[in-house]
């Protein structure tokens, strides 16, 4: 049975979504905390000022989806379908979310709270972290080649446990890369 398709619609302050496919839709001021979007398909959609805390995304398709000023605490993005997965985050709180072993090439995180986010094994080549707080974020076996950390803060990870070729950092970010060696940068 084919799921219903919702195209070019605006959903504002709605408490729930019915299963289906959402194409070019906008979601604003919606509270979907603890909702189960398993199997849903979102293409070219925008979520703005929404609470998506602990959202369940098992086999969910996120194809070119933008999140702006959203609360996404504890979301397991690696549970999504990987085919055509593409997301962008601006001014979002993603604290305690996970992207373990996930493909995030070219992903933009702008002015986001990424505290305690798990990026273990993720492909973050050419990703941007401008204005992001990465306090206690986990980077192990992460591909960070050509990623931009120049405007990020509070990151700390091992240059030996991650791929960093041509990644960009500011002078202020050096302590987060050298701490494991006992080097003090003043």
| pLDDT value of residue 175 | 77
pLDDT at 1 over 60: no
Parts of the chain belonging to CATH 2.160.20.80? 1-88, 98-181
Average confidence (pLDDT) over 126-149: 97
| pLDDT value of residue 185 | 67
pLDDT at 3 over 90: no
For 20-30, the pLDDT digits (tens) are 999 999 999 99
Average confidence (pLDDT) over 56-84: 97
Question: How much is the pTM?
Answer: 0.93
Q: Cβ(152)–Cβ(132) under 8 Å?
A: yes
pLDDT at 186 over 90: no
pLDDT at 36 over 70: yes
For 112-123, the pLDDT digits (tens) are 999 999 999 999
| pLDDT value of residue 181 | 73
Choosing among 1.10.1740.10, 2.160.20.80, 2.40.30.10, 3.40.50.2300, the CATH entry for 1-88 is 2.160.20.80
**Interatomic CA distance for residues 185 and 172, integer angstroms:** 9
For 176-185, the pLDDT digits (tens) are 887 777 766 6
**Interatomic CA distance for residues 164 and 90, integer angstroms:** 24
For 143-172, the pLDDT digits (tens) are 999 999 999 999 999 999 999 999 999 988
Q: Cβ(146)–Cβ(127) under 8 Å?
A: no
Which residues are paired to 130 by β-bridges?
Answer: none
CATH architecture of 98-181: 3 Solenoid (2.160)
- Share of residues in the chain with pLDDT > 70 (%): 97
């Amino acid at each position: 049975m084919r799921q219903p398709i919702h195209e070019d619609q605006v959903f504002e302050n709605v408490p729930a979504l019915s299963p289906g496919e959402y194409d070019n839709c906008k979601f604003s001021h919606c509270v979907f905390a603890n909702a189960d979007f398993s199997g849903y398909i979102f293409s070219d959609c925008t979520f703005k000022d929404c609470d998506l805390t602990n959202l369940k995304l098992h086999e969910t398709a996120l194809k070119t989806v933008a999140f702006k000023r959203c609360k996404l605490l504890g979301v397991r993005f690696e549970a999504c379908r990987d085919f055509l997965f593409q997301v962008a985050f601006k001014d979002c709180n993603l604290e305690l979310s996970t992207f373990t072993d996930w493909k995030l090439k070219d992903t933009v995180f702008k002015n986001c709270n990424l505290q305690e986010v798990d990026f273990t094994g993720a492909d973050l080549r050419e990703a941007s972290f401008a204005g992001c707080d990465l306090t206690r974020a986990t980077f192990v076996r992460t591909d960070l080649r050509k990623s931009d950390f120049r405007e990020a803060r509070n990151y700390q990870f091992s240059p030996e446990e991650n791929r960093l070729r041509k990644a960009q950092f500011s002078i202020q970010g050096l302590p987060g890369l050298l701490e494991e060696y006992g080097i003090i940068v003043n």
